[in-house]
Structure 1
């Protein structure tokens, strides 16, 4: 049997080594992130089964139940709920309205446009998860940099930093804030309030915003814009649409081989049962259960998904 002091040293050393290995795999992506995450959990379960952490009375402090208790943590559920909320705001167009307003208000001043964009990202990140906010504003920032003939490489990274700064200002702005607050509650201490982080968070966010606007762009690489990146908004993507019963696509008729009700969308093929129908689609009416292969720009696909999300197959 290993002495208690040597066992504790061995356990800590193993955990530090596991952290280094996990971070290396996350950074290099030599193995998929999902597989690395699951492997870390499996290794921890096996390790603490054979080398348990025991308390003063011999009880197991890191049992299987405690190792999996994190999946039932309210902070995890809250973060997932924020992801759902962010997706809902994206699909309903609320965030699109704010992003478009930024472009309209600041057409003539690139510095003010990018500054206002970062402030808006910080504001949304205070009450939403960072991921949907950054995903939404990436194409908007691309549009701004293209319009003002700025290098995207100098400003795209700033979006991520701005979302992190905004997340520091409220309890739900960052998952780490939630975790610490719940841990305090478990220890019998008073948990943090929603706005307990706001005053110091705003001070740090303001300092960080000044850094992002005046210093960070000078440190980031100024790479020339490639043709593909500049034309991202105009590039066409291929997608598969499923026409279900009651869909607004049922009954559409082509005019001159195109469907006027689907602007900016080109229909490449219609799969009806075992039959593949190719253009021109004269005397054809879209029917329920048709599978339609389309080519469209990203804004056209986003508009189609917002109006009727079930049209697009999630696996494609």
Structure 2
């Protein structure tokens, strides 16, 4: 063993130890690897930083932009809403929908791309369902990796082993030759991930999440308004018919604030109190803030009916309307005036629904409550109007609810974003463009079409994932350049060369799987596949089961966050640690090993 090989093995062992210890950020460890390799002389300094220009890193950066476009236009939220409608808030049902979906996508496109596209959807689901993203993202990543086992084009190792067989004059694998074994592993993996593995999954808040940001319900509780949102129907004979809310004096006489009107099942997109010419009609459903104690008398006087307010309709309302907590600064011209005199609807397009003074909720009177410096107000209205408050000189925005992060800022561009996504997927699946070109074009199209702003695109980059991948890629080159990888392969082959075919397959599986945890599965397959083929021919056995074993093993990159870009992508949003992948991934690797050894000889006899 040479000095270069010893250095590479020592670097690999130190890196793994630092990852496992969790005492240093993984992206910082990756940068230290880059520095160590550049100083070693095994690879040049330019090669040590070459990972930052690797196609996979550029592709992942572009996918972040595509995913941000889906989020900003509301497509991710819409997909999440559909999954929530079908799967409900039940973790098991959601996983039963998510895992086959991502596996199917990964069978025909890059698993990295499939996961990058679904991460915004999963984060949206987690926020809406009150779940931790860590409960969903790792199973999603593992299912994507297994999805690559389903077809010839699902993952590069499948193509490599097939090409190796063709080069040796043998019949290459067909498009669906991988499918029976891949489906069996996917089925068992789903049982494992939805069953025993769930007890091992961490429940951690998303890294960098604003845990202290309250939602609409919490802000309403702060102003004792949690039970004051109601839905009322205008009955025939009501004096409200054909009047605007202002003409009906709902706020001045009854202290009732109309937030929206539901007419013929469709929620109007503008706040009714803001529109002076909007007239109420019979059978309209008014969504109002009103005191519970006065509501019965109000309904009797104005001939209104109280209706239930199911959670689905509350959710629909909150997708268009929200609240914001603001502070009245001493220099504000609103000080000393009543809420009516403040003309909040005319100034801001928002309605005052709550008032706090000296941290105590106050009983508000639309005409009599004089505002003072230091008062905090709860304003309700459209999300667009709430965003515009940030530039106001008359109010200081103290708090916007957590739901604001879920509201798309470019919803009108949703059709464009959907077309861009479909064109990208079709181009990749049909082979019109290589993956990198298709994804780069989609990212640029997202920006040019207005689906995502340039600043939003830059903010979408997950720096931890990009640095971790780019920093670890040169280690694979150093292992190859120093001869360390070839040394490991030759040692294993010399040990199992005269053993039975099953032991050979088991050994090759373990070698390929272990190597794939630390270097790319593509590089691993390129190095191991020729050795596996030569060994099979030397022993006089059918190369198909041996090569199939190598291909499947290369996709079992479950045990470390650096094993695959797919794992690295979910690392930060899931707030995972190195040990989380080993604890859940190693049993899954063993299950894949057992299934491969049991089924491969049946599908491809020795």
Q: TM-score, with normalisation over the residues of structure 2? A: 0.33
Q: 2: distance between equivalents of 1:68 and 1:112?
A: 43
C-alpha separation in 2, matches of 1:101 and 1:160: 21
**Contact 1:168 1:201 survives alignment (8 Å):** yes
Partner of 2:8: 15
Residue of structure 2 in register with 1:99 after alignment = 80
The correspondence for 1:205, drawn from 183, 186, 196, is 186
1:305 to 409, 413, 416: 409
Contact 1:169-1:200 within 8 A present in 2 as well: no
The question of 1:163 aligning with 2:141 is answered yes
Q: Distance in 2 between matches of 1:164 and 1:183?
A: 22
Q: Structure 1: give runs of 5+ residues left out of the alignment.
A: 53-61, 147-151, 239-251, 272-276, 281-292
In structure 1, how many angstroms separate the alpha carbons of the residues matched to 2:188 and 2:55?
Answer: 32
Q: Say yes or no: does 1:270 pair with 2:391.
A: yes
For the Cα contact (< 8 Å) 1:268–1:278, is it kept in 2?
no
**Matched residues, number:** 253
* Matching of residues 80-91 of structure 1 within 5 Å: 80-91=61-72
Question: Shift in Å at residue 44 of structure 1?
Answer: 0.5
Decide whether aligned partners of structure 1 residues 301 and 65 sit closer, same or farther in structure 2, where only a CA change above 3 A counts: closer
Instruction: Identify if the C-alpha distance between structure 1 residues 210 and 180 changes in structure 2 by more than 3 Å, giving closer, same or farther.
Output: closer
Q: 1:235-256: CA deviations, max 9, x gaps?
A: 78x9xxxxxxxxxxxxx94145
CA deviation after TM superposition for structure 1 residue 15, in Å: 1.6
| CA contact 1:233–1:299 (8 Å) conserved in 2 | yes
State the distance in 2 between where 1:297 and 1:193 align. 53
Query: Is the contact made by 1:106 and 1:113 (CA closer than 8 Å) also made in structure 2?
Result: yes
1:136 maps to: 121
State how far apart, in whole Å, the 2-side matches of 1:259 and 1:26 are: 47
> Residues 260 and 131 (structure 1 numbering): CA distance in 2 closer, same or farther, change over 3 Å?
same
| Unaligned stretches of 5+ residues in structure 2 | 205-210, 220-323, 325-345, 353-378, 412-450, 461-606
Correspondent of 1:254 among 348, 354, 357: 348
- Deviation string 1:39-74 (CA, Å, 9 cap, x unpaired) is 211210111x2xx4xxxxxxxxx4455545544444
Q: Distance in 2 between matches of 1:301 and 1:26?
A: 32
- SS in structure 2 opposite 1:104? helix
Aligned residue among 23, 35, 40 for 2:33: 40
Displacement of 1:207 in angstroms is 1.4
- Give the superposition deviation at 1:157: 3.2
- Preserved contact between residue 102 and residue 116 of structure 1 (Cα < 8 Å): yes
Larger deviation, residues 90-99 vs 203-212 = 90-99
Distance 1:78 1:310, change over 3 A: closer
- TM-score, normalised relative to structure 1: 0.57
Task: Quote how far apart the aligned CAs of 1:209 are.
Answer: 0.6
- C-alpha RMSD of matched pairs (Å): 5.0
Q: Which structure's CA Rg is the greater one? A: 2
In the TM superposition, what are the counterparts of 1:52-201 in structure 2 within 5 Å?
A: 52=42, 62-64=43-45, 66-107=47-88, 111-124=92-105, 127=109, 128-141=113-126, 143-144=128-129, 146=130, 152=131, 156-170=134-148, 177-178=155-156, 199-201=180-182
Counterpart in the other structure of 2:395? 279
Q: Closer, same or farther in 2 for the Cα pair 1:86/1:222, shift >3 Å? A: closer
SS at match of 1:40: helix
Q: Greater relative contact order (Cα 8 A, min sep 6): structure 1 or 2?
A: 2
